[in-house]
Amino acid sequence: MKRFLLLLLCLPGLLHAAPLRFDALSQIAIQDQGRKKPLTTFAREATLQLTGRTSVVLPEEGRTLSATDFVLTLWLAPKGWDEKPVLLVDYLPLRTALGLPADRKRFSYAELAGNAALQTLLSDGGRMRATNPAGGADGGTRLQKAASDVAARLRLFAAIVEGSSFTIVPMPSSSSYDAWSVLPDLPRFYSRETCLEVLLPFRDFVDAWKAGKQASLDDAAGRLAKALRSLNPATYPAPSRLTLESLYLRVHPWRWAWIGYAAAALAFLLTARCLPTAGYRLGWACALAGFACQVFGFVCRIVIAGRPPVTNMYESIIWVSFAVVLFALILEAIYRSRVFLAAGTPLAVAALMAVDFQPLVFDASIQPLTPVLRNNFWLAIHVMTITLSYGAFALAMALGHVALFRSLRGKLAAKHDTITLYVYRALQIGVLLLAAGTILGGVWANYSWGRFWDWDPKETWALITLLGYLAILHGRFAGWWGDFGLAVGSVLGFLSVVMAWYGVNFVLGKGLHSYGFGIGGTRWAVLYAVAEVAFVALVLRRRAAATSSRT
Amino acid sequence: MRLPFVTSLTNEERSARIAARRKASAFWRGVHRGASLHMAMILLLILALACAAATVAESRFTAEIARHYIYRSPLFLGWLGLLCLNLFCVTLDRWPWQRKHLPFVITHYGIITLLVGAAIGSRFGYEAFLSLEKGAPPEGRVALNQNIVLLRGLHTGDSYEIAFPTETRLPDEAHPRLVAIPEAPPEAGLVLKIDAYAASLAMVEDLAASDAGGPGLLLRFRSRMMGQEVPLALLQNDDAWRKRSFFGLATVEWVASFDAPVDTDKPLLRLLKDGPVFRYRLLKEGSVQKEGILLPGSPLPLGWADWQATLEGDLAHASVEKRLSPTAATSPDAPSAIRATLLADGKAVSDPTWVPSGTFQSFPNPLPSVDPGRPLRIGFGLQTKPLPFAVELISFDVPRDPGTASPSDFVSTLRFYDLRGGTQRATAHMNYPATYPPGFWRSALGLNYKFSQANWDPENLDHTTLQVLHDPGWPLKWIGSILIVIGIALLFYSRPPANLK
């Protein structure tokens, strides 16, 4: 009842503060971290980095600010914001080391900036920083990484409040200097008239924003964008590029993709008994719709970034889920068995949901690459081949689960069960692509790092995975196991893929593939591995029990 | 169409021939036994396990440990050899081949070719580093990733290189490494004792007794999280050493009274001599956080991250001296080093001396028979290897992403000098190594040298480090790789899977 009354009291306030929309700002480009992007993208990325969320919740004030509103507030009306607990410190040992309360995750700028323990931690981390351009540097301890993340948040917060983040003014075409500058620097480069052409719409924009007038805001933002573009149209991103990026951000095609796949999975699973034909068609349609969303997402990302979308954990998970569905679609089109898509789509849903709901672990922002990766040819052929193989192995793993479930229910034929053929087909694709991708990696390494093979952990785990899958295939010929063993192998073999893919970068954390290193998610990976092993153990036990009862 | 290597025998004739040779020849019996699929499975699985163990070892310890104990151990290499043998037997086992065997044979010969290429590369080729400075004379030697002790011959002055692997089994005082001095008469028993190795050596401060000096004390700061250890000396009567800054983040001060005014907002550690003991007081923004007695040897948590301070000792008359000492800090200014003592007949005839990497140190020559004015020169550092040409750095450029300081590439422009005085320019940038000598066939056959961008020093943009690769096994690696991929594709897709139709 109390809550209801509270809601009633808040209602007029909520109605009054109909949130402003800032779509018009997407036509204003900002040069940030080596890339020109829409101001709205910057606001979203900055808000995510500062707070760990894409919008800012202020429970005490009973309101939520959108990313753009939050960043504009920090920039244009920052008074009192250094006291508000918005900056994320999510790593508990860091909170302990800094003497911060363990039960809060967000702290104010004032609380963090004055923390001496943080300064000590950072200066120690700074002295130990390595300078190897090809990678190979150890990333320091997790604590240092967490501390430097917090320091980056403090710097970003200060830069937004000071306005130095807002490098939205392109240099005149006569200048050889390519770093954009901030609005207060306009008079250094442009005539008084030109400055006024930019600053007047900016003033109108600020006034409209403060007054909460949507129409005036849109109009002023449009004029500001036009004025900024006219300063140097040649270096300004094309309007279509900015529109595409803001569209990509707004539409969020990955979410639609997993919704499509989830619908497909449901259609396949629920209609297996009743309406199988209609369900099958519906499943195909949903899977294709989800697939189309993913294709759209990739096209956007490739156009925006100008490179293949396989350069960090976020992109590679999306790419692998794409590969799972791609191979499922191809094999389904050949065999018309329903099981490929029924097994593959739930996996794609799980992967896409994981990246969608863990934006801090999986960084969605598009950043310039470390120099060694700036080669679209090798990125495309080495990294995409390897990650496609992960997709094929993931599909084999999903099909392996189907086979093991069939075995649990006593439905797996002792020999020549079609599911074994399907598992085998998926494994074939994986082995071929992994062998090719690993070798291509060696050829690339020969050019970039100056050697073909040097037992780098990533290389080694690719080899271990390959050897594991070769053993799974050869073991069948050697008579060590049969169809059932192949299914078990496809499930357990995927653990080595997880190790090669995630484990090397997030657990081992050594070697030359250091640009992909990260932290977090270890608990989930271990949980997954334990669950798989337990599942296989359960199936084996049931099978042994069934065999002994038959004899 | 009849394919090469494909027999025209019928299935029965082929089986009969195989059965006959099994009976008649011990060689063929060996081949058929060596082609065991069980053996292949064991080889594969153990290889995978060994590799997995090596990556864990690398993560827990260092890449060098993994390399020494696994990847380059004779057992591991022997295992790969055994795998090669098994693969070879497997292909012979099916001889004379039928059309259906070709994908299988191609794949397995591909693996053998690749492994042979790798063996040739590691036997006849090498990987090395080349550090170049703009304006320096052309460099004709590259550094291998292998430490050596370099001794000069007593009579001839010739160089003697002794391998000094630092990955494993490092010498210590209980297990020193003894190296005989070359060209010394055996009866002199002249031996170099190496009894310590430091991964990094730096000047650190220490307290030394000095009659002229006043009271002094030595604190040692440790941080487990940082893996750091920093000694810090204080002298009561010397203003420069009475109050010390701790990396600019905090202050450490020896005071006559705790009531002395505080002039800093930063964390402050104050020490006070009170009879035989030291009292301490920790302050932050002027207010007292903690105080008590600082007992020698027991660490005091400071509340500055996880730093702890330990009182190492104090002297009534002290001065501060700086000396070379091993340190936990990793910085380019702190080279690795060995500690060496010269022994004659088992007795030390020199002080223990640190020899930092890349330097020579002189030891007094105790032999009267040899020119006594000529000291013994002992060096330590990376082994070098001559190139058949010389390289000069013309320029080093680091283009940046627009508007940032982050590098978008590293470009070394090089000039190569051949032995006949010819020169050639080339650039090495990320993903695009410079190769020398030029020419398609040299490149295809791996007979050239490849210079890839490897390291840079943000503080010195006239300096670059290149990785140098000379790999005569390269063509076999290429051919093997292509055979493997083609073979697997044919194996999987040239016929329906066996037993699964």
Q: Which DSSP string corresponds to A339-351?
A: HHHHHHHHHHHHH
Q: What residue spans define the domains of chain A?
A: 17-231, 375-550
- Tokens for A182? 């901030």
Mean pLDDT value of segment A133-157: 71
Q: Which residue has the higher pLDDT, B303 or A65?
A: A65
A306-319: pLDDT as tens digits: 889 888 889 999 99
Mean pLDDT value of segment A509-536: 82
User: Is residue A7 scored above 50 in pLDDT?
Assistant: no
State phi, psi for A139 to the nearest 5 degrees. Answer: -75, 10
Any chain A CB within 8 A of the CB of B331?
yes
Q: How many whole angstroms separate alpha carbon A469 and alpha carbon A463?
A: 10
What parts of chain B have a pLDDT lower than 70? 1, 225-227, 328-333, 369-373, 497-501
* A136 φψ region: left (φ > 0), alpha (ψ -120 to 50), beta (else): left
- Tokens for B219? 């604190």
Could you say which of B38, B118, B225 has the minimum Cβ distance to residue A143? B225
Could you say which of B48, B410, B451 has the minimum Cβ distance to residue A371? B410
- Report pLDDT for A62: 82
- Report pLDDT for B226: 65
Please tell me what DSSP assigns to residue A185: G
State phi, psi for B199 to the nearest 5 degrees. Answer: -65, -30
User: Is residue A132 scored above 50 in pLDDT?
Assistant: no
User: Cβ–Cβ of B488/A431 closer than 8 Å?
Assistant: yes
For B450, name the nearest residue in chain A, comparing CA atoms only: A450
- Chain B residues near residue A428 by CB distance under 8 angstroms: 492-493, 497
pLDDT averaged over every residue in chain A:
88
Residues 23-62 of B with CB under 8 A from A: 37-38, 40-41, 44-45, 47-48, 51-52, 54-56, 58-59
**pLDDT > 90: percent of chain A:** 62
Any chain B CB within 8 A of the CB of A41?
no
Lowest model confidence (mean pLDDT) among A216-220, A411-415, B392-396: A411-415
Model ipTM value: 0.84
- Report pLDDT for B297: 84
Q: What is the 3-state secondary structure (H, E, C) of B99-125?
A: HHHHHHHHHHHHHHHHHHHHHHHHHHC
Q: Which residue from B47, B41, B68 is spatially nearest to B57, judged by alpha carbons?
A: B68
Any chain B CB within 8 A of the CB of A522?
no
- Chain A residues near residue B266 by CB distance under 8 angstroms: 116
CA B202 to chain centre: 19
- Report pLDDT for A389: 97
Residues 6+ apart with CB under 8 A from B200: B326, B327, B328, B329, B330, B331, B334, B335, B336
User: Is residue A515 scored above 70 in pLDDT?
Assistant: no
CA angle B46/B50/B51 to nearest 5° reads: 120
Cα dihedral A139, A142, A143, A149 sign: positive
Mean pLDDT value of segment A143-157: 89
Residues β-bridged to residue B219: B232, B311
CA angle A394/A397/A402 to nearest 5° reads: 130
Any chain A CB within 8 A of the CB of B451?
yes
Could you say which of A119, A443, A480 has the minimum Cβ distance to residue B249? A119
Any chain A CB within 8 A of the CB of B430?
yes
Any chain B CB within 8 A of the CB of A121?
yes
User: Cβ–Cβ of A450/B71 closer than 8 Å?
Assistant: no
Q: Where are the alpha helices (DSSP H) in A358-498?
A: 376-378, 384-408, 418-448, 457-477, 483-498
Torsion of CA B320, B326, B332, B335, to 10 degrees: 110
Any chain B CB within 8 A of the CB of A165?
no
User: Is residue A396 scored above 90 in pLDDT?
Assistant: yes
CA B220 to chain centre: 29
Q: Are B258 and B272 in contact (CB under 8 A)?
A: yes
Mean pLDDT value of segment A164-171: 93
Other C-beta atoms within 10 Å of B196: how many? 17
Q: How many whole angstroms separate alpha carbon A109 and alpha carbon A118?
A: 13
Residues 6+ apart with CB under 8 A from A549: none
User: Is residue A438 scored above 60 in pLDDT?
Assistant: yes
Any chain B CB within 8 A of the CB of A131?
yes
First to last CA, chain B: 27
- Chain A residues near residue B468 by CB distance under 8 angstroms: 450
User: Is residue A128 scored above 60 in pLDDT?
Assistant: no
- Report pLDDT for A133: 33
Residue carrying structure tokens 């301070």: B309
Could you say which of B37, B121, B228 has the minimum Cβ distance to residue A474? B37
Residues 227-246 of B with CB under 8 A from A: 228
The three-class DSSP label of residue B456 is: strand
- Chain B residues near residue A432 by CB distance under 8 angstroms: 485, 488-489, 492
- Report pLDDT for B13: 93
Residues β-bridged to residue B385: B142
Any chain A CB within 8 A of the CB of B417?
no
- Tokens for A332? 């389904």
Task: Give the pLDDT band (50/70/90) at residue A415.
Answer: confident
Q: What residue spans define the domains of chain B?
A: 11-125+476-493, 128-141+384-474, 145-200+332-382, 202-326
The three-class DSSP label of residue B64 is: helix
- Chain A residues near residue B478 by CB distance under 8 angstroms: 443
Size of interface A-B (CB pairs under 8 A): 223
Please tell me what DSSP assigns to residue A450: S
- Report pLDDT for B326: 79
The Cα of B193 is separated from the nearest Cα of chain A by a number of Å equal to 32
- Report pLDDT for A12: 43
Amino acid identity, residue A293?
C
- Report pLDDT for A140: 53
